[in-house]
A = this chain, B = another copy of it.
């Protein structure tokens, strides 16, 4: 049995999900992988909130030195979110020789080359499966099993909130504003939904995919982006008449030696593999010049699906070290 000690930065929804998933599956993971994964520290100032988990108070710290200065900690799991502070913590972790796992699409999209380059230079691993598509294995296959392909194009339904809203508009014939309110009441959409419905979240994910799939750095703010706030019930009905559905799709395709990308609501024929991706589900459709077309489908958000991806990264680092 190999011991792997992790520090969790941020005990919000995702951090709590990671803690729960480890409590639920830690013994199973140990029996199948030989790794005994322990949460050694939690960097979090809100120590009193009831999260439905049983955390020893001694695990909490607000002192970065307890994380980066502790030689027993192998992997720093960054789940704070946001760009600047989270990025600075990841740089500190790398400088301290810690491997890093993150689910933070915004920080990665803003600083992709700096983060991956600094980690590589320091000889530590930086992994981020959870940053695109939640629990769906996407980054892994794209950077391992599929490397014999030259990628030709991709299309992704990679934002659960907008897909939920468009699905309800289509299936229940209710307008955007009404469905958005319901989604907010159910916790599927945030009080300020603009990051989702205007496509900013999707632009972060597409920026990461552009680096990985086409080797082209594109800042999220440079991706032509149209969200779903302008979609009317007339649009939905017109799509239906054309035997199509409207989906908010992140698209990219090879063009000569480069690649182009954009985000916009598109009409998908009902026979397209992405057309039946409904509700909060996500999917990535991708085409390689050897494998032809592929689709990966599953839960693109939520604490436990995201924790599955985070812990998968922890396991892969755990197997590679020591």
Contact = CB atoms under 8 A, between A and B. Distances in A.
Interface of A: 21, 24-25, 28-29, 32-33, 129, 135-137, 140-141, 144-150, 215, 271, 273, 276, 288-299, 302, 304-305, 307-316
B297 A291 contact: no
A106 B43 CA distance: 50
A150 B291 contact: no
In order of increasing CB-CB distance, the 7 nearest A-B pairs are A148-B311, A291-B308, A294-B298, A137-B145, A137-B141, A135-B291, A290-B308
A235 to B, nearest CB: 24
Contacts of A292: 135, 298-299, 302, 304-305
7 contacts: A21-B148, A21-B290, A135-B292, A137-B145, A146-B312, A147-B315, A291-B309
A297 B149 CA distance: 17
B148 A315 contact: yes
Contact of A33 (B32, B147, B314): B147
A302 B292 CA distance: 10
A129 B147 contact: no
A173 to B, nearest CB: 18
